[in-house]
Structure 1
């Protein structure tokens, strides 16, 4: 999207990211095994460059560069390491609830440290027994004087074992209405916080996403994010405004990596005396992948651009996440057909791994079915209240800057 919905500063940032990839990431590839998932070296190097805090306003020590800048960084890294890009975006996602609904003392305490790369945040919502059904959360927080006592487990947490703080959404009421959940900031080293042993997975090499249990973990009421009963707002605003675009960015990087691998294979391998790409059937298939890449870029950068302008972008954000993830899966599947048996061996081709990585983009921040459900509701005018993108505009939007500055 060079020059389309980006500005000179975005392209300068892209150049910086590509240099970092060449100097720091590529020499460490491949990121394999549980040990790689527990190694925070690279994500902390990125955090110290301010890339976790790109959307943190300058008043809190951040760069205040907005969502297009965040997209540039995540997208570029995902082209070479989807797992590492997933790790970075999980930390970016972790600050969203604090930024959107945190109290002024919490923001003054934590946002500058996140912006400087001193600490890594993450968001902790999903439980094994609830999945996408947020009101099905069973992990609880019980008020005891001026503290809350947390118990229960959380699963599939991005950056689970490398994060320093968790934004945790918990049940604080037996009711099932909109006010049954509350969010809290919980330090990873606080007594009663226990990461479970990390398991290997088939996708996103180098990405830490595991489980954490809370056993009578006591936290002060000052660590509450938002009001009591606003937990669903914390989770939903984080998912809609950060999670969907972040995951779309990772999926976009995967999609471009698929195209790169297919072009390399079809231009270097010959059949019947000419490169594969010169055979009409193969050329048509590569063209289909290129079309997917082009449209995915447009979707992602348009959604980020609208978000930075403070415009209503909920539909574009949902569409970007849904469509780009689906295009990544479809393109990687087609690439398997183009490359054939070569794709079955990691030493021959990255396509099989990219296909698994693409599939891993579909469930988080709302499965494809959830995205279609929400898009259908919007089409029929069944959504309630102000859109998330208008309620919590980008840090580059003056209204957001004024609110965060306390003006």
Structure 2
């Protein structure tokens, strides 16, 4: 039922806006409000904190269906889930009661701020510093490539409180947009997911109340990794949706495009391409939802190790994003010259697919996570 409702919403309200969002590179506030009104921004949040309690499988389903028509629009849901997840995982009751209801209801937007110019895949190289001064922490440093940067009301920021301890010295803080010393720097000009702002964050002696520390000092890296374990399948679902949308369009085009006196769908070369595309998409779907249900069950009931959770999460993200890139590339090929133009959506889908192989951990990092899990490292 949820899939039917979201698909109808996506086709009627999102699809007509998709090309314009990409062309204008402007955040679709109208769609954010629409999703908030439908309770979609709080799908992953329990009901006691203002959400609808759909859990990880529900979030994946919502993101997949919206990504079929617009990757940027689906990122409204995915980025909110990523931003609020550290609070859901590590927040105390007071923090959850204060921040989760307005985030789940869409009254506020959130962001996850881990990456820095010198700390991308190597999170241990974080240089943003948080020094304790009385009843507050003072943050100094820069973050980059932050989704929702500049429009978010609440940021979960990772900074080192003990540089000499490396990963064990990283802590996590809830930072509100109007804190003094916090500003937004350069907005990135991106190849894909245009309309979703990605920006630099600047902290210049930014005071953060000590009650906004998530967990304990030194818990930051653990919180970040636990968050990504729960959200990488959502990126997999986004990639899956992009791939499904590209397959749907290529299939319809092949049935109607006539060459040599017949529809190109009648040619075996095209048929084989479509067959491979459909098989890859379905394989990705099975893995994404296997991971989502496995992780949700592990979180609710236990019984799975952190390594198992990380492995399924990374496999889903790795495979689905590679499939998205392959399928969208093939969809452009099916359309030929038309596929290479902005008049047809597969060009946009191909550009959008690429980021799914990069953010929330590059696919090379996912392979490391999977291998280390298998080898017991």
Q: Name the TM-score class by shorter chain.
A: over 0.9
**Are 1:325 and 2:325 an aligned pair?**
no
Q: How many angstroms apart in 2 are the aligned matches of 1:353 and 1:318?
A: 25
CA distance in 1, matches of 2:322, 2:129: 35
1:263 counterpart residue number: 251
Give, in angstroms, the shift of residue 280 of structure 1: 0.6
Deviation at 1:176, TM superposition (A): 4.0
Q: Does 1:366 align with 2:341?
A: no
Q: Tell me the secondary structure at the aligned position of residue 130 of structure 1.
A: coil
Bigger mean CA offset, 182-191 vs 35-44: 35-44
Q: CA 1:199–1:47 in 2, change beyond 3 Å: closer, same or farther? A: same
> Given that residues 22 and 193 in structure 2 are in contact (C-alpha distance below 8 angstroms), is that contact kept between their aligned partners in structure 1?
no
2:368 paired with 1:380? no
Match runs of 1:100-179 below 5 Å:
100-179=89-168
Shift in alpha-carbon separation, 1:320–1:227, aligned structure 2, 3 A:
same
Report the secondary structure of 2:187's partner residue.
Answer: coil
Change in CA separation of 1:48 and 1:327 when aligned onto 2, cut-off 3 Å: same
Unaligned 5+ segments in structure 2 are none
Instruction: Note closer, same or farther for the CA distance 1:89–1:215 as it changes in structure 2 (3 Å cut).
Output: same
Q: Is the 8 A contact 2:41 2:104 kept in 1?
A: yes
CA distance in 2, matches of 1:52, 1:268: 38
- Say which SS state the counterpart of residue 178 (structure 2) adopts: coil
- RMSD after superposition: 1.7
Deviations 1:126-182 (A, max 9, x none): 012211111111111111111111111111111212211001011111214332100
Give 3-state SS (helix, strand or coil) of 1:215's partner.
strand
SS in 2 for 1:88: helix
SS at match of 1:203: coil
CA distance in 1, matches of 2:27, 2:346: 25
Q: Is the Cα–Cα contact under 8 Å of residues 31 and 205 in structure 1 kept in the other structure?
A: no
Query: Displacement of 1:200 after TM fit?
Result: 2.7
What does residue range 25-174 of structure 1 map to in structure 2 within 5 Å? 25-32=14-21, 36-174=25-163
TM-superposed CA distance for 1:345, in Å, is 1.1
Q: CA deviation at 1:320?
A: 0.6
Going from structure 1 to structure 2, the CA distance change for 1:275 and 1:38 (only over 3 Å counts) comes to: closer
**Contact (CA 8 Å) 1:49, 1:117: kept in 2 or not?**
no
Task: Tell me whether 146-155 or 20-29 shows the greater mean CA deviation.
Answer: 20-29
Displacement of 1:81 in angstroms is 0.6
Structure 2 CA distance for partners of 1:276 and 1:35, relative to 1, 3 Å: closer
CA distance in 1, matches of 2:338, 2:102: 46
Structure 1 spans left out of the alignment, 5+ residues: 1-11, 383-407
1:36, CA displacement in angstroms? 4.2
Instruction: Give yes or no for contact 1:148–1:221 (8 Å, CA) kept in 2.
Output: yes
Q: Which residue of the partner structure matches residue 14 of structure 1?
A: 3
By how many angstroms is 1:258 displaced? 1.2
- Asked if residue 286 in structure 1 is aligned to residue 282 in structure 2, the reply is no
Q: How does 1:334-353 map onto structure 2 within 5 Å?
A: 334-347=330-343, 349-353=344-348
After TM superposition, the score normalised by the length of structure 1 is 0.86
Contact 1:54 1:64 in 2 (8 A): yes
* 1:315 match: 311
SS of equivalent to 1:324: helix
Question: How many pairs are equivalent?
Answer: 369
State whether structure 2 residue 184 is matched by structure 1 residue 189.
Answer: no
Q: Contact 1:125/1:168 (CA < 8 Å) preserved in 2?
A: yes
| Contact 1:124/1:154, CA 8 A, preserved across alignment | yes
1:224-244 superposed Cα distances (whole Å, 9 cap, x missing partner) = 1110001101111111111x1
